[in-house]
Structure 1
Amino acid sequence: MPLSKLKIFTQTCICLSVLLLLPKLGFTQSQSSESSGQFITLVNPVRVSAYTKDSAKSLASQYFEVSKRNLPASWLFTYDVLENKEVATFAKQMDQQQDLGIFLEVTPNFAENAGVTYNKTDSWHRSNSVFLIGYSQDDRKKLIDVVFERFKNNFGYYPKSVGAWWVDSFSLNYMKDKYNITSTLGCADQFYTDGYSLWGQYWSTPFYPSKNHAGMPARNTETKLDLVLLQWAARDPLNGYSGERASSYSTQDYYTRDLPDEYYEKLIKLYALKNKNQFGQITLGLEGDFPEETYREKFAQHLDMIQRISTQENITVTNMKDFSLWYRQIFPNLSPAHVIEADDLLGSKIKSVWYQSPAYRIGLTYNGENQELKIVDWRTFQDNFQEPFYLTPNTQLNLYINIPSLIDQISNPQSVWQIPVKGIFSSIGKAEKYSLFETNNPLLIFEENKITFSEVNLPPYIKNSDLLKIKDLPHSTEVSIAEHWIAPPEGMTFRSLPPQFFYLLNSYNLSKTNTQKRLALISLVLIVSLIIIYKFKVYHKKAFWVFSVIFMIGSTLFAISKLRIYSVSQAETDALLHLRALEPGKVIVYDETCLKCIWHNRYMPAVFANIRGYVSSISKKPIVHNRSIFVAESRPEGKKKLDSLVAKYIYVVKYENYSEIVPFSPGDYNVELIFENANAQIWRIKDNDKKLQ
């Protein structure tokens, strides 16, 4: 049963009484000066879910634990929670240290009140249902306006803090311009958890997002969104990157692996302390949809740890709004470079290093037992790279935000670069200039806009990358990052004939009766015309040649007038660059035309017209057009045809409601998925690896 107003008032009085007694009880917040540059940011997203028994009671219980320790926190409410009058009444009585904001999850009720059609799927947490990107830009605006007005009706002002596990850059731009938000909460990197793939951001560290891509740091002030993106569920820098359920090595889920609270404390100190950086920060908290007793147990224990650590280590506990204010004052231009260096928190001899700046992110591991140094992850950040759902709504059940990479151990283990180390491995310097040494010799030097490799041979896929600028020096190689992506935000574009032309040319249409009739009629007309021209010697007449020239010129001009512009998205070009870096081999593409497909980008995707030549031109690999393996009625039939093609890869694309799918299970075709982003998949055909060697 919901709390009555009397109960709310009573519990509020209890909370206020406890606050008055805090100085006597000794439960004061850490008095660390903000100039220490070390922060723990408390954030509690509050939603209504299957776990929720009573939203008001859950909120009261959670707030009681925060307030009795005199801690600040951000509370992000979903639209459905904001409609709960008892929750709103309680939230109004929170103390001044609390930052109230919005958690941008879409529900049927929220969509209905915004006049938007809800994307109903098999589960509320599907990405195209719950996130703003599942809706058109106009619908995103409607949803945002409705929830912001609801918030203002409740509290009398617009919030500064928002969040969701993914908030797209279009929505962030809109909220920044119209409502002047200053901070947003997002989810830390996870390769695939709960159907969400968020892969390639700063590793568990705050940054200024780009106006074009919320997962990329702004490369320059022109593309900078003047708000701070904080990351939920900071990951273990080694174990949280790769392996089964890697994302559970985090501040939120470590207990599901039966890890002790000491592990939680190690993560806090790793990120909240400055170490080699200009600041340290970690986001902690707990979702507010659990039963009230949850907050008196594990949550309360965590708050005790936070209070103790913040006092011992001179860490400021803060909320999103206040941390954003500090960050924007100290770093008024771009996000600073940031280094994460740690021995394995689980005790192995492996050290992990992450270096990240507005230009790139790179992850390395060093195994002290065999002196093995590996680059396991390398991302580049271009200022004009636009996230795939900026313009178009995400119609996929799952979310794929995969930031362009040169090396990605998870997507493609073969891309890992092993660098030999012959002496004692060590590191020197801070984030502005951070170096890895073997004995007394520099091996790698990381700076904000470049990496210097000392007497290290670059592999071909690095040396030949369009995203890098290589400069050979006498005893080293200097690598800087290209500022712009190889194609503009609208993608790679070119002109070609209208899609209807390619539809008629598709070979598989020859089996259709209507197509056969059309071709027979065209052939008959041509034959009759040639017979007439030959029999009556029309070709001797001047008028015939004049007519022919006029007809040819007119036909050419008509064809030119009908040419249309096609596009290949930036995300798809990223997939094709990955395909280029793979070993040689033929690539199977789907021989299909889609005349009725819809798109929200400026130009029609080339695949809709079944234009596939760009796959070969960008990937530098021969392609094989095929349809039968995709529509085979049985596994044996499809496998037999697949084997006959003697190809090494299958390349399929997906745009909005159009999605090419490799049929059956991967085991049936003996293929493995080696790359996927929002617009493409690359499958390796394992059967043919030996045949092609």
Structure 2
Amino acid sequence: MNASGAIYPNRVNIINFIRGVEPREPIDLVEPVREQLALVRKHGLPATWLLQYDALIDPAFTDLLLREADASQEIGVWFEIVQPLAEKAGIPWRGRHAWDSHAHIAFSAGYTPQERERLADVLMEDFRARFGRYPQSVGSWFMDAHALAYFSDKYGIDASCNCKDQWGTDGYTLWGGYYNQAYYPSRLNGFMPAQTEAAQIPVPVFRMLGSDPIYQYDARLGGNGQAVITLEPVYAGKEGGGGIPEWVRWFFDVNFRKEQISFGYTQVGQENSFGWAAMKDGLTDQVELLAARQGEGMLRVETLGASGRWFKARYPVTPASSLCALTDWRQEGRQSVWYYSRYYRLNLLNNDGDLCIRDIHRFDERYEERYLREPCPDRNSRYDTLPIVDSARWGIGGAASGLRPVVYDGTGEARPLAVRALETDESVPGELVVLVRLEGADTLRIHCAEGRIRFSSSLPDWGLCLTWGSTSELPEMRLDEDAIDYRFEGYAYRMPLIGTRPSWIGPEGAASGGIELRAFGRELVLEQNESRRPGTASSD
């Protein structure tokens, strides 16, 4: 029970999506589905099964589900584009194989808005022909706003799901979004939480895969983009992953806290194209753990559609959520705190005494996704929000980056705070308080509310320093007396400031540099939901 008295604030979806073909290597695609079904039924747990079109038209999969799935199981669709779906919708197939993983082939963003609607219609009508109804849940690694709104407006779906944040993995990027839980997307941007009920698609989108709250954000970049540190049972790297029982138990502990500002969430499951042998041990362990934790009252396992209906009945707009990892499964002294509302997200990292705000991204329902009106032209698709602080992208070449609280000595020189530990208070619904215990008796208090971040400290002379390295990802910045004005991808936005006046660290416009926010008194506020001033922030 959480602070508001709600029973079962923590929710888990077991989502297994099903591909009908795997052109990269021969593999039995039916065996994983059969074994996954047997596993969840053994423990009496509901699950969601999302059929890609090539699996939907293959009786090997549909007959199995109709025969073995009881009433607690939900069958929905996975909206990736495959050759038989495209051709039935009258669209020439451009892929290398019958299923092609490249973003401009597999994802709806690779097609015109009119083609997306035809693809959706074929998928939904053929599903109804097989199962006698339309599906309640439609998932995809990523779905554009036009297609998602079409599924909502025409077919009344209850829920959707998409991939975790990642940079360049498998050729596509999702960066700066709602880190976990669920959000209502803007009708102009399927990745962007809407601020108003009028501008949102009324379908909650749940973030998939269970992203590590400490290590995934800074995961190393390689030839295939970021490494994957998630709950997926096929992953078991040195940083963690769903194939490591110790990491899984730690992940459940930090996600499913007794105190929540809204609710905790994760998705368990694996796509069938990895094969049963690769997922068997990890998935079996996770499902057994889920059954035990549900029995203890820690969480509720339900279908994606049920979670969507619960979310819509409870929240008219996107609720604030948090994810607080105050312990480090690797025992290396790291703590990570995530907070996200319909206006912004923030991540705070204590790296063994070095305190850094790694990330702040602004959410603005008016910022259009790149492919809203025109198709994605190649495999390297990108969805993003508006960066205020982005240490993962701004620290290129190992340069220190991020927003760091500092204290000033007698000469006016800034030095980082020496941190002992972070503590959190989630007792007020929608708000998160982080108490930073400093060396000695001093403290720094960070209060995250829906539209602002308030810093207060017992220190006599302190502030915040924003630094970055040389990177093409840096937005344009201009300092005003009481704000920082940004421009990113041609879109202008601002961060109003209270209790400080920004000044440059080093020369303005340098390839690497920073901005200093020296506190005038005990409080310093970063506003995140202020309306634009006329003439200062408009999109090109």
TM-score band (shorter)?
Answer: 0.7 to 0.9
Q: Number of residues paired by the alignment?
A: 457
Q: Distance in 2 between matches of 1:108 and 1:365?
A: 45
- What letter matches 1:37 in structure 2? P
Q: Distance in 2 between matches of 1:290 and 1:457?
A: 46
Distance 1:111 1:217, change over 3 A: same
Q: Distance in 2 between matches of 1:39 and 1:153?
A: 31
Q: Distance in 2 between matches of 1:299 and 1:485?
A: 48
Q: Distance in 2 between matches of 1:166 and 1:285?
A: 17
Distance 1:458 1:55, change over 3 A: closer
Unaligned runs of 5+ in 1: 1-32, 493-567, 569-693
- Where does residue 248 of structure 1 map in the other structure? 228
Alignment of 1:242-641 (within 5 A): 242-244=218-220, 247-252=227-232, 253-257=234-238, 259=240, 260-291=244-275, 297-368=281-352, 371-413=353-395, 415-420=401-406, 421=417, 424-430=420-426, 431-438=430-437, 439=441, 441-454=443-456, 455-457=462-464, 459=466, 463-465=483-485, 466-472=493-499, 474-482=521-529, 492=539, 568=540
Query: Scaled by the length of structure 1, what TM-score is found?
Result: 0.62
- Where does residue 60 of structure 2 map in the other structure? 86
Q: CA deviation at 1:429?
A: 2.2
Would the aligned equivalents of 1:62 and 1:288 in 2 still touch at CA under 8 Å? no
Alignment of 1:81-160 (within 5 A): 81-93=55-67, 94-120=69-95, 124-160=100-136
Q: CA deviation at 1:301?
A: 3.0
Would the aligned equivalents of 1:213 and 1:387 in 2 still touch at CA under 8 Å? yes
Q: Distance in 1 between matches of 2:238 and 2:163?
A: 20
- What letter matches 2:381 in structure 1? L
Alignment of 1:9-20 (within 5 A): none
Alignment of 1:17-28 (within 5 A): none
- Where does residue 14 of structure 2 map in the other structure? 42
Per-residue CA deviation, residues 603-644 of structure 1 (Å, 9 max, x unaligned), is xxxxxxxxxxxxxxxxxxxxxxxxxxxxxxxxxxxxxxxxxx
Q: CA deviation at 1:53?
A: 4.3
Q: Distance in 2 between matches of 1:258 and 1:165?
A: 23
Query: Scaled by the length of structure 2, what TM-score is found?
Result: 0.78
Per-residue CA deviation, residues 171-219 of structure 1 (Å, 9 max, x unaligned), is 1101000000111110011122111211111112222222222222221
Q: Distance in 2 between matches of 1:84 and 1:365?
A: 47
- What letter matches 1:110 in structure 2? L
- Where does residue 189 of structure 1 map in the other structure? 165
Structure (1/2) with the larger strand percentage: 2
Per-residue CA deviation, residues 440-491 of structure 1 (Å, 9 max, x unaligned), is 5443221111011335246586842242122237532222124668999xx8
Higher RCO by CA contacts (8 Å cutoff, separation 6 or greater): 2
Would the aligned equivalents of 1:111 and 1:117 in 2 still touch at CA under 8 Å? yes
SS in 2 for 1:467: strand
Structure (1/2) with the larger helix percentage: 1
Q: Distance in 2 between matches of 1:288 and 1:313?
A: 30
CA RMSD of aligned residues (A): 2.7
Q: Distance in 1 between matches of 2:424 and 2:276?
A: 48
- Where does residue 214 of structure 2 map in the other structure? 238
Unaligned runs of 5+ in 2: 407-416, 457-461, 467-476, 486-492, 500-519
Distance 1:287 1:402, change over 3 A: same
Per-residue CA deviation, residues 582-610 of structure 1 (Å, 9 max, x unaligned), is xxxxxxxxxxxxxxxxxxxxxxxxxxxxx
Distance 1:341 1:42, change over 3 A: same
- Where does residue 33 of structure 2 map in the other structure? 59
Would the aligned equivalents of 1:170 and 1:390 in 2 still touch at CA under 8 Å? yes
SS in 2 for 1:289: helix
- What letter matches 1:437 in structure 2? V
Query: Percent same amino acid at aligned positions?
Result: 23
SS in 2 for 1:411: helix
Distance 1:55 1:373, change over 3 A: closer
Distance 1:216 1:436, change over 3 A: farther
- What letter matches 1:137 in structure 2? P
Q: Distance in 2 between matches of 1:483 and 1:53?
A: 53
Per-residue CA deviation, residues 221-246 of structure 1 (Å, 9 max, x unaligned), is 11222212112211111111113255
Would the aligned equivalents of 2:77 and 2:135 in 1 still touch at CA under 8 Å? yes
Instruction: Tell which structure's C-alpha radius of gyration is larger.
Output: 1
Per-residue CA deviation, residues 516-548 of structure 1 (Å, 9 max, x unaligned), is xxxxxxxxxxxxxxxxxxxxxxxxxxxxxxxxx
